[in-house]
Amino acid sequence: MAEQFKSVFSIPYFLMSFGDDTGACPLKEKGKKLSFSGAGKRLSIDFSGVLPAPSVRETEKTVSVIIAGFPVIDEIAGRGGLLDELASKPKPEANFIRKIDGEFLFIHFDKSSGKLFIVNDRFTSMPLFYHIDSAGKTLTASPYFTCLWRYLSATNQLRIEKEAFFEFLWFQRLFGTKTYAKDAYFLPDASILEFGSGPVRIENYWKRNYEKSRLSLNDHSHRMAELTKKSVRWKTEDGKRYGHFLSGGMDSRSVLAAFEDNFPVCFTATVGENRELRIAREIAITKGSQHLALELDEEHYGKILRPSVEVIGGMYNYDHGLFYGFNEAVNTRADVCFHGHGFDYMFQGMYIPGKNLNFQGRTLYYRTMMEPPEDLTNFFIENASYRIKKANIWKYIAEDKKLALREFQQASINGVLERGKELTSNRFDLWEYLTFHHLSRHYSYPNHASIATFSEQRTISFINELFDLYLTLPAEHRFNGRIEKKCLQILDKRLAHIWSANTNLPVTASCLKQTLYQIAGFAKRRIFPERQDADKEWAERTWPTRDYALRNQETLKNAVKSLCSSDTLDSLGFFDMTKLKKDFPKWIDGENVEGVSGDLVQTVLTIGTFLNMKNQRG
């Protein structure tokens, strides 16, 4: 059973303003408006399309607004308990916040003192971007950077942070607390932001503990299984209709394996009847879940380009927001959706540095851990797995801008590294801290951000104890997915026996066993040659390669050519526009142009699409 893509998109909107009470609401957008005053201050909120809608509790002395999340207090899940606790508190103290589990982002306004507090969880499960005006009197904030960006543009407060666009060009993401606008920042993890009559004050109520556990891999695997089931129980406590975005890999399979009853409807995005879909369907049926295919459009990425960039504020590549266009297919069957986000980087060890063996020019699955060098900053800049590949970025940077951008790049990464060194000296931990210092800044965030545009989404990996477990695991237990493979076998042996769509090999096989299968496959193909089209291997997975999509989807081709014929990118001042405008259209039309790759073209297209959104909505 398959549901077709439909070009129907829900773009959430949220903007809040806090400052002196002048008697007029400063927000002009068309949405549901909330306004609260006290002690000469006014809190104004405007929102639409946020799922679920913000939860509000007002008393004589306080106002609390839960913007996002499904928090847990004293083993009881839901927003009501948190609102009850906040109602009697003039300020959310650190000791109180530390006992809240799971995902949350909330505002608390003490009307008697005129102070505002914004508090997020340790996962930054929902990002929060904020700006203070030049007078230091008004704070404006949103979980959707595009909303803040447009507001700053409309009120003549926008000053572009050009170097941040270069960082995105290199890494497909941003680091630290920077944004594309000067004086606008990302709220760090586990923060209590306080704003009243003076400057913004941010208190960190929790710090990561990287002290390593000495338990065995088997003990850790059982602990992970127990906590994953605990998270599922908590996050299904409200008895709603549940959905689950299921692939043929291991992470979303592990989440499904932890369900003990009330199994979710499973959704699999696909380009057609292929290995990914067949394996995901087998997983769902084996578990006893209903399964539904979500078939991507032939022009899928061209059609989601604009809504994806708008929702994620241009700070991630648009193709990671895969699930747009399936609003009706999903929300007619589920109220709350789950997915496998977090399990890959926490428990598969996907970002731990390693080296693969090579055999007769072929890269084998067998992989050994490699300790990062002392010069972590430069090693990270060149070797982060998600940085732009197969492209010469510097070729398209103006000569007189290169030195300053290199210095900015090093200072940015080194700044994050120095904060990490306050927590640990372990190089493996520092390496991962560079990527996961704020989880929702990771390049994969748009996956569940796209789900959240049509359904409430909850992340099973985001409970405090699971995150603590991740932090205390020795790297050896996570490398090559060792702990998650054992955990899956503990949770549901039936699902552990189904092969992986990623590798077309047993999903829990060790890298040595995978390599033996691989070598056997090499030998078989030498004896019985078969035609293989390496460029179309993606057809057995969920999505096409970037090269294929950009060169074959007419909407994307036209978008790239239109961008190259405009002056949109000139405003950043660091591109060599002569080279870019000459080479990108050639590459799009199928020429092999040295220094150009799908990664590079797509990232530039994301930047250009976002830059064109300053004064537009929808």
Q: What is the pLDDT of residues 321-346, one digit of tens each?
A: 999 999 999 999 999 999 999 999 99
What local confidence, expressed as pLDDT, does residue 29 receive?
60
What local confidence, expressed as pLDDT, does residue 341 receive?
97
Run of H or E residues at 64: strand 62-69
What local confidence, expressed as pLDDT, does residue 618 receive?
40
Residue 147 has pLDDT above 90, yes or no: yes
What local confidence, expressed as pLDDT, does residue 533 receive?
57
Please work out, in degrees rounded to the nearest 5, the angle formed at the alpha carbon of residue 68 by the alpha carbons of 64 and 73. Answer: 70
Q: What is the mean pLDDT of residues 52-79?
A: 97
Residue 530 has pLDDT above 80, yes or no: no
What local confidence, expressed as pLDDT, does residue 24 receive?
57
Q: What is the mean pLDDT of residues 201-211?
A: 98
pTM for the structure as a whole: 0.96
Taking only the tens place, the pLDDT of each residue in 357-396 is 987 788 898 999 999 999 999 999 999 999 998 999 999 9
Taking only the tens place, the pLDDT of each residue in 421-478 is 999 999 999 999 999 999 999 999 999 999 999 999 999 999 999 999 999 999 999 9
Q: Which residue has the higher pLDDT, 517 or 144?
A: 144
Q: Which residue has the higher pLDDT, 511 or 101?
A: 101
Chain centroid offset of residue 160 CA: 23
Give me the sign of the Cα torsion angle 612, 614, 616, 618.
positive
What local confidence, expressed as pLDDT, does residue 522 receive?
76
Mean pLDDT, the chain, integer: 94
Residue 141 has pLDDT above 70, yes or no: yes
Q: What is the mean pLDDT of residues 131-152?
A: 96
Q: Which residues of 4-43 are buried (b: 16+ CB within 10 A; e: fewer)?
A: ebeeebbbbbbbbbbbebeeeebbebebeebebebeebbb
Q: Which CATH superfamily is domain 217-347+443-500+529-540 in?
A: HUPs (3.40.50.620)
Alpha-carbon span 611 to 89, nearest angstrom: 42
What local confidence, expressed as pLDDT, does residue 523 receive?
74
What local confidence, expressed as pLDDT, does residue 529 receive?
75
Taking only the tens place, the pLDDT of each residue in 566-587 is 999 999 999 999 999 999 999 9
Instruction: Outline which parts of the chain fall under CATH 3.60.20.
Output: 2-204
Question: Which distant-in-sequence residues (6+ apart) come within 8 Å of 594 by Cβ?
Answer: 392
What local confidence, expressed as pLDDT, does residue 617 receive?
47
Taking only the tens place, the pLDDT of each residue in 494-522 is 999 999 999 999 999 999 998 888 888 87
Question: Domain 2-204 belongs to what topology?
Answer: Glutamine Phosphoribosylpyrophosphate, subunit 1, domain 1 (3.60.20)
Taking only the tens place, the pLDDT of each residue in 167-204 is 999 999 999 999 999 999 999 999 999 999 889 999 99
Q: Which residues of 358-394 are buried (b: 16+ CB within 10 A; e: fewer)?
A: eeeeeebbbbeeeebeeebbebbbeebeebbeebebe
Instruction: Outline which parts of the chain fall under CATH 3.40.50.620.
Output: 217-347+443-500+529-540
What local confidence, expressed as pLDDT, does residue 519 receive?
83
Residue 524 has pLDDT above 80, yes or no: no
What local confidence, expressed as pLDDT, does residue 584 receive?
98
